Structure 1
C-alpha cells in the first residue's frame, strides 16, 4: 500500500522511523552491560535489548501521558533490567552514573535509516510538505536529527508542547496546524501501530501509516497485528521507500 494522492503533507515519527533507534539501543546495551553487569555473556545481550524495548510495565508510555518524568521512567526500566539480569539495584546516585553512561552510548549510536534522506528529499520534490512529531523531548530530538543529517526536517511538536505525547489527538492536530494543512491532507508515518498510525487516524488525519520493518518489532504489550491495522484502514509499509509509490485512492 502506498501514499494516497490526496496527501499534501507527511509528518514523521523520529525514533525507529527516520532514525535507527533500535540499533542505537543495541549499542547502548552492550556498553551498559559491559559496565554494570559484566557477568552477563554477550550472547544474552539481545535479551536485555528486548526487555528495554518491550518495556513490559509501560513506564515510557506513562511518561508520554505526563504521569512520569523522563528520569523516573528510565530509572524504573534500568532497575527492572538489573533485577532481571543480576545487576545491582540502583539508588539515585547509582542511577546518575548509569544514566551518564546510557546518554553517551545512546548518542554515539544514532544513525539514520539508509533511505531516510532520499525519501525526505523525493517527497519534497513531489511538492509534499514534510515535518516531524515525536514523543521524546525537543532538545534530544533536535540533536538527534542534526547528528543524522536530517536537521532540515522541521521538528513541529514534541512531548514538551503539551506535556503529553501521542496518541493524544492534540499533538497530531497541532503538528498539522503548524504544517499549514488540513488534517485530511496529512499522513503520519511511524513504527508503532497503536500510538502512531492508529493515533493519527483517530485524530482525523488523512492517512495513518505503520512502518513494519522486518525484525524490528517490540513485542510484549505493543499491538503489532496486521489484522488490527486492516480493521482501522491503516496503511502498512515495509520501509520508508514505499511512501514514494503513489496510489489513486
Structure 2
C-alpha cells in the first residue's frame, strides 16, 4: 500500500478513553447514584459509552453544544440509575467532578507511541482528526505523551461539524498535506471512522480491539465495509506491517 500520511482518531484509538471513563464515572456513582455499588460500575460505564440518546453525535453534527450534550448525557445516566435530575447549577458541580477523574486518567494506548514513531521514522505525515473540540483533544494528546508527535488538525469546531461528514476528512488531509487517496484514517468506530473515511476517498482502517465494543456491530455490516475497502486490525501494532513498513 502506497500512502503518504496517516490520520488518527483519538478516543480509544490513541488514548485509552474507555479506561479514563472508569474512574470518572465511579466517582460520579459514589456521589450521585446511591443505589449503584462498585459491583455495578461496569453497567454505568457501558451505559455512558453507549450513549443511547446519541447526544454526542448531535454535538458532532453541529446541532447542539458540547456542554449541552454532556448535560443531557448526565441526566440520561441519572435517569437510568436512579440519580437526581441536574439543573444548570447542579450539573456544573457534576461536570467538575467528572472532569477531574476523567482528565487525570488520560493515558496513551499501549502500542500508540511505538507505532506513531515508526510511521514518522518512515517519513509519513501523521495527524489527528476527532469529533471533539480541538483544544480539548490537543490537551488529551499532550497528557498522554503524544502531543509533540501527533498534531491535532481537525476537531468538531474546525468546520462546525465532525465525522462522518466527508468534508472533515478532506480538510484534515489538506492540513496534513496529503492527497486523500494516499492517506489512511484509523479509528475504533466502523461506520463513523473507517467507512466514512473510505466514502470520503481515504483508506479506512477499523481498529477493532478485543473486548466490549461501544455498540453492537453486526457481522453483515463488517462484511459490507470490507467489501467497500475497509481494512480491519485488532491492534495499532498491525498497521506498520499493513502499510509495508
Q: Give the TM bin, normalised by the shorter chain.
A: over 0.9
Q: 1:247 to 1:114 in 2, by over 3 A?
A: closer
Q: 1:81 is matched with which residue?
A: 77
Q: 2:231 is matched with which residue?
A: 235
Structure 1's consecutive aligned runs of 4 or more residues displaced over 3 angstroms after TM superposition are 222-225
Instruction: State the distance in 2 between where 1:92 and 1:158 align.
Output: 26
Structure 1 unaligned spans of 5+: none
Q: 2:15 is matched with which residue?
A: 19
1:169 aligned onto 2:159: no
Match for residue 97 of structure 1 among 93, 100, 103: 93
Q: 1:107 to 1:223 in 2, by over 3 A?
A: farther
Q: Post-superposition shift, 1:142?
A: 1.0
Q: Post-superposition shift, 1:223?
A: 6.5
Structure 2 unaligned spans of 5+: none
TM-score (norm 1): 0.93
1:120 aligned onto 2:116: yes
1:49 aligned onto 2:59: no
Instruction: State the distance in 2 between where 1:164 and 1:238 align.
Output: 28
1:29-48 superposed matches below 5 A: 29-48=25-44
User: Does the aligned pair in 1 maintain the 2:164–2:196 contact within 8 Å?
Assistant: yes
Q: Post-superposition shift, 1:40?
A: 1.0
1:10 aligned onto 2:14: no
Q: 1:157 is matched with which residue?
A: 154
Match for residue 138 of structure 2 among 121, 142, 155: 142
Q: Post-superposition shift, 1:57?
A: 1.4
Q: Which whole-Å deviations, capped at 9, do the CAs of 1:97-135 have from their partners, x for residues lacking one? A: 101111111101111011000000001111211111111
1:226 aligned onto 2:215: no
Match for residue 204 of structure 1 among 183, 201, 204: 201
1:183 aligned onto 2:184: no
Q: Which whole-Å deviations, capped at 9, do the CAs of 1:63-106 have from their partners, x for residues lacking one? A: 00001111111111111110111111111111111011111111
Instruction: State the distance in 2 between where 1:77 and 1:14 align.
Output: 20
RMSD (Å) for aligned C-alpha atoms: 1.4
Please give the secondary structure, in 1, of the residue aligned with 2:126: strand
Structure number with the bigger relative contact order (C-alpha 8 A, sep ≥ 6) is 1
User: Does the aligned pair in 1 maintain the 2:34–2:83 contact within 8 Å?
Assistant: no
Instruction: State the distance in 2 between where 1:246 and 1:229 align.
Output: 17
User: Does the aligned pair in 1 maintain the 2:13–2:207 contact within 8 Å?
Assistant: yes
Instruction: State the distance in 1 between where 2:96 and 2:125 align.
Output: 37
Instruction: State the distance in 1 between where 2:45 and 2:243 align.
Output: 37
Please give the secondary structure, in 2, of the residue aligned with 1:245: helix
- Paired residues, number: 242
Instruction: State the distance in 1 between where 2:111 and 2:29 align.
Output: 31
